[in-house]
């Protein structure tokens, strides 16, 4: 048995990103997991992960805890709440935070963990569920050399691109904030392009294919564009929810305000995601934001 396979990792949160990360980690490590929803736990079991009903049960004697939760409140509850990770994890075990919670949130979490004797690796991720399941993520890291050394094998297994931004918690979140700024704006720009194509009577599929080949092309146009068309025909598979981008663009604009840097495009993108969420699309794929700009004609006529 290899040294890696003996390492016990507790993955807390088996959602769109946590589940594929957990099952991929299970190919090389001993992995336990927690999610409040039984269907997610069942899927994890099918992927070689031993699933538990509480963070504490999943983290019992774990060497590393990896958080893949939605926001700072969920991270705090999973770590410090009743039946939380810190009730059972090994003394001194490192915690990897993969969630996007902003620089201030990450520093606050790291300070509480440090008081309890646990180093934190600030390691927000980007790439989507498919890449998470193959170890092809972009991971940006803020961590001390000691914490990084304790978790390097896990980060390497999950990533194709691993960038060490700095030595402090919050450094990784700062770079992820800029990533989300670009991603959110590009999704909204793609939505506007698709909406305008529909308004002009053009075939959006032809427009997306043509523009993807030129200077106007982007990852979001190529990836979200076709999913926006699916949003009109039964809905796109949920890979990244509207309410996640509402949260993330809120972090972007808040960080910009704190740095005294105006971010007018980010603010506009945030508003469109908020409008979509207010329209009941919070749990829908973020590509569904296009339907706010250009509804189905049948829906518009009803």
- Regarding whether 67 and 15 lie in a shared domain, the answer is yes
In the 8-state DSSP scheme, what is residue 138? Answer: E
- Regarding whether 223 and 192 lie in a shared domain, the answer is yes
Residues marked active site are found at: 176
- Regarding whether 148 and 50 lie in a shared domain, the answer is yes
Q: Please report which residue ranges of 59-170 form alpha helices under DSSP H.
A: 72-80, 103-115, 129-132, 145-158
Q: Which of the four pLDDT bands, split at 50, 70 and 90, describes residue 302?
A: very low
Q: Residue 299's pLDDT is what?
A: 43
Q: Residue 298's pLDDT is what?
A: 42
**Rg of the chain on CA atoms, in Å:** 20
Q: Residue 4's pLDDT is what?
A: 67
Given 169, 193, 224, the domain boundary residue is 169
| Number of domains into which the chain is organized | 2
Domain that holds residue 207: 174-301
Q: Residue 283's pLDDT is what?
A: 95
- Regarding whether 29 and 66 lie in a shared domain, the answer is yes
Number of helices and strands (H, E) in the chain?
Answer: 15, 9
Whether the per-residue pLDDT at 142 is higher than 50: the answer is: yes
| Per-residue pLDDT tens digits for 251-301 | 999 999 999 999 999 999 999 999 999 999 999 999 999 999 999 864 443
- Regarding whether 159 and 273 lie in a shared domain, the answer is no
- Regarding whether 150 and 9 lie in a shared domain, the answer is yes
Q: Could you tell me what percent of the chain has a pLDDT over 70?
A: 96
- Regarding whether 235 and 143 lie in a shared domain, the answer is no
Check if the beta carbon of residue 154 is closer than 8 Å to that of residue 236. Answer: no
In angstroms, the CA 294 to CA 192 distance is 9
CA–CA distances in Å: residue 72 to residues 98, 108, 270:
11, 10, 19
- Regarding whether 215 and 163 lie in a shared domain, the answer is no
- Regarding whether 212 and 165 lie in a shared domain, the answer is no
Q: Residue 296's pLDDT is what?
A: 82
What mean pLDDT is predicted for residues 201-227? Answer: 96
Query: To the nearest whole number, what is the mean pLDDT of the chain?
Result: 95
Longest pairwise C-alpha distance within the chain: 64
Check: pTM over 0.85? Answer yes or no: yes
| Per-residue pLDDT tens digits for 26-60 | 999 999 999 999 999 999 999 999 999 999 999 99
Given 147, 169, 191, the domain boundary residue is 169
| Per-residue pLDDT tens digits for 77-121 | 999 999 999 999 999 999 999 999 999 999 999 999 999 999 999
Residue 44's domain is classified under what CATH number? 3.40.50.720
Pairing of strands 94-97, 125-126: unpaired
Q: Which of the four pLDDT bands, split at 50, 70 and 90, describes residue 6?
A: confident
Find all residues with CB under 8 Å of 126, minimum gap 6, and list them: 137, 138, 139, 140, 176, 179, 183
Given 111, 137, 169, the domain boundary residue is 169
């Amino acid at each position: 048995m290899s040294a890696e396979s003996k390492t016990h990792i507790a993955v807390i949160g088996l959602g769109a990103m946590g589940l594929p990360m957990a099952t991929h980690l299970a190919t090389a490590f001993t992995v336990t997991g927690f999610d409040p929803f039984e269907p997610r736990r069942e899927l994890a079991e099918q992927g070689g992960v031993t699933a538990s009903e509480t963070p504490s049960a999943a983290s019992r004697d774990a060497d590393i805890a990896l958080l893949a939760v939605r926001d700072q409140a969920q991270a705090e509850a999973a770590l410090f709440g009743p039946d939380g990770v810190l009730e059972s994890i090994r003394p001194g075990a490192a915690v990897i935070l993969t969630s996007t919670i902003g620089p201030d949130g990450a520093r606050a979490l790291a300070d509480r963990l440090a008081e309890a004797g646990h180093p934190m690796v600030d390691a927000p991720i980007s790439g989507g569920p498919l890449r998470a399941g193959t170890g092809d993520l972009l991971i940006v890291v803020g961590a001390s050399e000691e914490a990084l050394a304790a978790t390097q094998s896990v980060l390497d297994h999950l990533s194709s691109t691993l960038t060490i931004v700095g030595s402090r918690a919050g450094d990784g979140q700062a770079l992820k904030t800029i990533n989300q700024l670009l991603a959110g704006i590009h999704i909204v720009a793609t939505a506007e392009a698709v909406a305008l194509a529909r308004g002009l009577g053009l075939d959006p599929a032809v427009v997306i294919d043509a523009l993807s080949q030129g200077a106007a092309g982007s990852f979001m146009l190529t990836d979200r564009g076709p999913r926006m068309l699916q949003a009109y025909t039964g809905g796109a598979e949920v890979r990244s929810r509207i309410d996640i981008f509402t949260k993330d663009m809120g972090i972007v604009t808040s960080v910009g305000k704190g740095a005294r840097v105006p971010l007018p495009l980010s603010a506009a993108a945030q508003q469109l995601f908020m409008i979509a969420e207010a329209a009941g699309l919070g749990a829908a794929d973020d590509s569904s934001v296009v339907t706010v700009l250009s509804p189905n004609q049948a829906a518009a006529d009803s």
